[in-house]
Structures are given as C-alpha cells and as structure tokens.
Amino acid sequence: MRINSICVALFLLCSAMVNRDKVISRSFVLAEKQAAVMLKEVEAGVEKSRSENKTPVPVGPRTLKGGELVLAPSRDWTSGFFAGELWYLYEYTGKDEWRKKAEEFTARMEPEQWNRKTHDMGFKMYCTYGNGYRLTKDASYKSILIQSAKTLSTRFRSATGVIRSWDHSQDRWSYPVIIDNMINLELLFFATKVTGDSSFYKIAVSHAKTTQKNHFRSDYSSYHVLDYDSVTGKVLKKNTHQGYSHESAWARGQAWALYGYTMCYRETKDRSFLRQAEQIEGFIFNHPNLPEDLIPYWDFNAPAIPNEPRDASAAAVMASALYELSGYSTNGKAYRAKADKIVENLAAHYTSPAGANKGFILLHSTGSKPANSEVDVPLSYADYYFLEALLRKQHRDENKH
C-alpha cells in the first residue's frame, strides 16, 4: 500500500509539472497568434496616421478604447513594450521572423535615446534595445543604450538624491518622483557594466536608497508620488496619484517596488535591497484584500472590494519579480509557488481568445481608475511582463531539475 501511495504521489507531481509546462507552451502559442494579429492592426493604424498627416506617427500599441486600438508615439512611456514582446517571442521560439519584426519595431525607438523630457528611458529603451542586445550582442544597440543612460542621468540631482520623474503638473509638484522610476535603474546598471563608468551605478544606487528611505510606510507599502524640494532635498508631499487615496496601496505601484528592489539586489548584492523586496512581498501577499487567485484589485484599499476592477498588469509584474526573487531568497520555494499560481490563473482566466482584442494577450488591466482611464482593458505592458514571467518560469523550471 505504501508503494502504491508513493506511486500515486509521484504521478500527481509529474502531472502538475506537465500542466505547468503547458501553461508556458500554450501561452506562447497564443502570444504568437496574437502578435500576428497585432502586427496587421498596428501597421494599418500607422498607415492611417501617415495618410492623415498626423504627428507624431505612432510606433506601437498601448490599449483598446471602445474596442478600437490605441497606438502610442515613441515619446509615450508604453511605446517600447510591443518590441520587447517580439524579442521575447524570438527568445522562446528562435524563429527569425520574430527577430526581424523585433528589430523593425526596436528601430522605431532610436530617437528616444536623446529625449531628456522623460524618466521612462528604461521602459522604452531597455525593454527594446536592452533585450535586443542581450539576445544579439549588436554593437549598435549597446551604443544606443549607453546614450540613453547618459540622457536619463541628466534628470538626476545630487541635492535630492533621486531622478526626477515628471515634468508636467508643475503647479502640483516641485520635483516629483514616482515608484515606477525604480524600473528605469536597470538601464543605468547596464551602462556601468559595459562602459566601466561608475557614475551610472552611483546614480542608480542613490535613487534606490533614497526611495527606500522615503517612499515606504511602516508596513512596506509604497506611496506612488513623492515631491521633493529640488534645493534642499526635503520631502514636501507623499501622494498616491493613480491609487484610491494618498494613504492607499495602489497595486501596480507595489508591483513596481517589488520588481525594482529585486533587480537592485541582483545588480548590487546589497542585502538591504533583498530585505526590502522580501518585506514588500510580505505586504502584498499577506494583505487581506488580495483575492484568492492572487490577481490584485487595482488598489488594495479600493472601497468597493470585491466589486472593483482587477489589474492583470500588476499581477504580471509581480509574477515576473517573484520568479527572480525566488533565486535569491531563502523563501524561494514559496515565492515560486505564488508566481506559478499567478501565471496559471492569468493564462486560464485573463487571456484573450485567439484572434480577438486586436492582438492583445491579457485582458482586465487597469491603467488609472481615478482618471477613469484604461479601466478593465488590455495594456501592452501587461502582455510584456506576462511573457517575461513565463520565460523566467521556464528558466527556473529548467534549473530546478
């Protein structure tokens, strides 16, 4: 009887592993089908913009509005995610057709290396040229990434110790810094590694340390926006612009924080960053308002929970971060299990039917509910981080055996 019990247990374990492998393969099959649809939709939209002499010409998808595709120009913070998705398709499949399309859409982002008016250089340039360089070692990509890092560095002020985020709404904020900015630091770490110039690294560490000190509450939840005095570096305001209230925990903001400090630990091996990531994880996954399927509501303190929109984009970012964090932490097994649950639920309940939704992969994300903008819609960055999470899952699964 004991032998039979062991055999049954092994059979169930193997079945679970096979099913999880199918989550990756089936999701990438869907991703390829959706990318093919999206390519046609994007090109049609670009041609329409050109025929109507609209400027700037869009470069990639952002979301759907009223069922119609919304395209983004290169200056938009979401402009690089589709090119990044194409690089991930090439990475998973090895198909040259996806590499060529990734190269084409990446090239559309080249002018952004000089754009000093945005902090989103990491989102735009590292998701595109960064993935491209990682997979091809194209020297021209490295040069563009270095220039992008130089451009981003101009937004740093030693008086504040952080990189300025937004230039808009100067009547509201003096020197605003958003938690999202943590993701852009990876570009700076890369620049130091390939140039030997430590200035990029020092800026990234200063930003991470200052954010660690000022952006978090005692429970390790994060504000969205902090406003600094640009001369003294004093914190003037602590706001949550895209969340329910200033003292609430906006879901995607918590996801950016988890991802950002995990990445900072990888790049620095500073254990305070590892502890920060672990504490953020604890806040998220021990929160009483986190649903059973681990796909968060748009804000952990939204007043009408459980009748509030979910944010699949936040879940995808969290899953990707957890797969990486699992390789650094003594809690790795638990983190992997949570990441697995997220991607399995996203794949089972949050994906588009093949051929629908203009080619987006994930449904039910929330951009900014307070502005009634992009609520319960697909978003390009949700798709990007979903594919990244799947690739990281594959890597962890392969190294586990």
Whether residue 357 contacts residue 369, with contact meaning beta carbons closer than 8 Å, is answered with no
368 known member of a binding site: yes
Tokens of 167: 């230039």
The pLDDT tens digits of the residues spanning 31-90 come to 999 999 999 999 999 999 999 999 999 999 999 999 999 999 999 999 999 999 999 999
Does 240 show up as a binding residue in the annotation?
yes
Question: Is residue 199 classed as helix, strand or coil in its secondary structure?
Answer: helix
Q: Is pLDDT at 16 greater than 50 in this prediction?
A: no
Amino acid at the residue 92: Y
- Residue 274's alpha-carbon distances to 113, 249, 264, 322, in angstroms, are 31, 21, 8, 12
State the Cα–Cα distance between residues 304 and 307, nearest whole angstrom: 5
**Prediction pTM value:** 0.94
The two tokens of residue 69 are 């595709």
d(CA 304, CA 291): 13
Q: How far apart are CA 45 and CA 60, in angstroms?
A: 9
Kindly list the catalytic residues. 120, 180
Number of helices (H) and strands (E), helices first, in the chain?
13, 9
DSSP secondary-structure letter at 250? B
Length of the chain: 401
Domains of the chain with CATH codes: 22-400 (1.50.10.10)
CB 81 within 8 A of CB 60: yes
pLDDT above 70 (res 257): yes
Contacts of 222 by beta carbon, 8 Å cutoff, 6+ apart: 179, 215, 216, 249, 253, 254, 256, 257, 280
Q: How do residues 112-169 score in pLDDT, each as one tens digit?
A: 999 999 999 999 999 999 999 999 999 999 999 999 999 999 999 999 999 999 998 8
373 assigned binding-site residue? no
Residue 252 among known ligand-binding residues: yes
- pLDDT > 70 fraction of the chain, expressed in percent and rounded: 95
